[in-house]
Amino acid sequence: MGLVSLAASKKISAAEADLVADWESGRALPTWSQVTKLAKLYNLSELLFFSKEVLQKNKVIPDYRVSVNAENDENVKKLIHLVVTRQKWLEKLLKEEGFSKNQLQGSGKNLSNPKKLAEFITEKLAINLGEIKSISGRKNVLNYLIQKAEAENIFVGKTISYHKLEVDDMRGLFISNDYCPFIILNRRDALSAQIFSFIHELAHFFRRSDAVSNSLDFRSTNRNANPEEIFCNRVAAELLLPVNEFTKVFYEKSDIDNISELYKVSKIFIFYRLKELGKIRKEAQDDLEKAIEKETAEGLRAKAEREQENKGGNYTNAMRDSNGVLFNRVISKSYLENRIGYVEASNLLKFSPEKV
């Protein structure tokens, strides 16, 4: 946009002071409302106005599965930049074609009860828990959920190897936009965890709260956790494992294994859900938690090893999946209608538009 700091300051405040210069120098910090105005002025996500340190504080939530690696913030920020760049292109296109704003985004922001928001999401996206239980395989369940979201013009993508993001860097990402909100999942995570993370990011979408997320922990006793992240995790818990599904007095390890297969979510998540509901015997809780954590960590290592072995797989297929069906479809349509040329379409897709 080319605005000098004083000119930008005058567009967001009636004060004579050069607020932007003060923020840039570190002499003062903006309020959230000022960040929102600045984001609209520059047509960027609010997330991009945070320093690495503040972004780190917002995204780091102690995770019961993996440790946090603070060295890869730049990779997270690069991914955010990629998403925002795509959003700017898509927003311009969708406005030109007369599309209306996404009416579902932020429509649940007034629901302060996780169960109520879970029910709201289930209704608005026509998600059926019975269908989830009947679908064979976690990958198919994840695709089912993504299709429900993309049908409502929510763009969904996944990381790919060159993003260099481990599970402890980012499990999921939501960046709002009036016309093209984006959810990104970390492909390196277990499919059961991706399912949980996806519902978590949908909660952010319905609350319109931009976020980088890297925890599945929904325990309110975790004092170090970001309350918004805990809330969205609790929404995922209510949607995927509603209380009325669990009628036994106590559950054992074999029960958790069976529930994981039926509901397609991770065993550690099920353990914490049942523990929260008072359905794990107290004397068995510590040993059971350690056993499931060990099993989960081994599963992640095995998945990483398989992916390393398959590193030479088909690039186009991987990139097509990474972009997401909706994004690929919009770019392909624009290309076939001669609204954009081959080079622009290829740059956006990262592969030939002829292969969509």
Report whether pLDDT(257) > 50: yes
Between residues 344 and 219, the one the model is more confident about: 344
167-202 burial string, b = 16+ CB within 10 Å, else e? bbbbbbbbbbbbbbbbbbbbbbbbbbbbbbbbbbbb
Virtual torsion, Cα 60, 325, 238, 245, nearest 10 deg: -140
Q: Which residue has the tokens 């927003």?
A: 91
Decide: 319 and 159 in contact? Cβ < 8 Å. Answer: no
- What strands lie across the sheet with 211-213, from one edge to the other? 155-158, 182-185, 172-175, 211-213
Band of pLDDT at residue 202, cut at 50, 70 and 90: very high
Least confident residue range of 120-124, 253-257, 266-270, 299-303: 299-303
Helix axes 32-42, 5-12, angle to 10 degrees: 120
User: What local confidence, expressed as pLDDT, does residue 264 receive?
Assistant: 94
pTM of the entire predicted model: 0.78
State mean pLDDT over 321-326. Answer: 94
Angle, alpha carbons 169-170-175 (nearest 5°): 135
Distance of CA 167 to the CA centre of its chain: 12
- pLDDT tens profile 122-134: 999 999 999 999 9
Band of pLDDT at residue 136, cut at 50, 70 and 90: very high
- pLDDT tens profile 69-119: 455 677 888 888 889 899 999 999 999 988 999 999 999 999 999 999 999
Band of pLDDT at residue 170, cut at 50, 70 and 90: confident
CA–CA distance, 206 with 315 (Å, rounded to integer): 33
Q: How far is CA 6 from CA 16, 206, 294, in A?
A: 9, 35, 55
Q: Give residue limits of the domains in the chain.
A: 78-295+315-355
State mean pLDDT over 292-307. Answer: 83
How much is the mean pLDDT over the chain?
A: 83
Identity of the amino acid at 302: A
Band of pLDDT at residue 54, cut at 50, 70 and 90: very low
User: What local confidence, expressed as pLDDT, does residue 57 receive?
Assistant: 43
User: What local confidence, expressed as pLDDT, does residue 66 receive?
Assistant: 32
Around 215, how many Cα atoms within 13 Å sit in the side-chain half-sphere? 26
CA–CA distance, 146 with 183 (Å, rounded to integer): 10
Decide: 271 and 280 in contact? Cβ < 8 Å. Answer: yes
- pLDDT tens profile 148-168: 999 999 999 999 877 788 887
User: What local confidence, expressed as pLDDT, does residue 304 receive?
Assistant: 77
Report whether pLDDT(263) > 90: yes
Identity of the amino acid at 305: E
Least confident residue range of 35-39, 67-71, 313-317: 67-71
User: What local confidence, expressed as pLDDT, does residue 342 receive?
Assistant: 93
CA–CA distance, 47 with 34 (Å, rounded to integer): 13
CA–CA distance, 117 with 129 (Å, rounded to integer): 15
Q: Which residue has the tokens 């897709």?
A: 349
Percent of the chain scoring above 70 in pLDDT: 78
Helix axes 315-323, 342-349, angle to 10 degrees: 80
User: What local confidence, expressed as pLDDT, does residue 149 receive?
Assistant: 98
Percent of the chain scoring above 90 in pLDDT: 53
Report whether pLDDT(238) > 90: yes
Between residues 300 and 86, the one the model is more confident about: 86
Between residues 46 and 129, the one the model is more confident about: 129
Decide: 138 and 192 in contact? Cβ < 8 Å. Answer: yes
